[in-house]
Amino acid sequence: MADVKTTGSKENEFGYMSDHYIVKLGKECSGPRYDEIKQLKCEIQVRTILMDAWDSVSHHLDYKQEIDIPSQFRRDFYALSGLFYVADSHFEILRDSITKLWEKLDENMNKGQFDLSQEMNYDTLRAYLRWSLPDRISSENSQYSELLAELKERGYSQFRRLNEVLTENMLFFETEESLSGLGRFVDVVVVRIILSYLRNYS
């Protein structure tokens, strides 16, 4: 375990922010392996992906300090720095909003609720399948995206119609599944097989 001292957020002359931490080995690190280095300190800088991208971009321009930048380029330079800052801020807002959506979906499912009239998208499709097929193993993340594209192509934009189709054909599906000898299918495969049956026999 390391001893950590936070030196706070810093903004360098090029406008990118980072959190800085001074760390050294903790007291529990003792013995020949640690004795020669346990008093050493190092600094860890923590940045977002976009902060690091701006740092890389600015270094490619070979300007090490503000006074190095030709005056005719400074306005564009700082405008570009501002764009990275705005993009980083809005990405954080988007991430927080998506997290709140997941939390709301989980909260409703824990109550046994799901709004069948809501928009069908990647997040709501995953939640719907966990709600409607709770005894099925979840698929890999990419499978939900592929299934979403297939459903949209077939005209499914909300869950009410899909839910009716699955409910009406689930008994038939489970009978066929048990006769197949292949075990229990994951959630996305259940939907695909039922839709394939409807396409072939409708």
pLDDT tens across 53-85, in order? 877 777 777 676 777 778 888 888 888 888 888
Question: Is 120 found in the same domain as 83?
Answer: no
**Distance of alpha carbon 136 from its chain centroid, rounded?**
23
Lowest mean pLDDT among 4-13, 87-96, 126-135: 4-13
- The full length of the chain comes to 202
| Residues 84, 151 within the same domain | no
Structural contact between residues 52 and 44, judged by C-beta atoms closer than 8 angstroms: no
Mean pLDDT of 173-192: 93
* Model confidence band, residue 142 (pLDDT cutoffs 50, 70, 90): very high
Reported as a pLDDT band with limits 50, 70 and 90, residue 177 is: very high
The whole-model pTM stands at 0.67
Pair 9, 81 in one domain? yes
Phi, psi of 80 (to 5 degrees): -65, -40
pLDDT at 13: 42
pLDDT band at 12 (very low <50, low <70, confident <90, very high): very low
Q: Which domain holds residue 46?
A: 2-92
Q: What's the domain count of the chain?
A: 2
171 is a domain residue: yes
Residues 10 and 6: their CA atoms lie apart, in Å, by 11
pLDDT reported for residue 156: 92
Q: Is residue 141 part of a domain?
A: yes
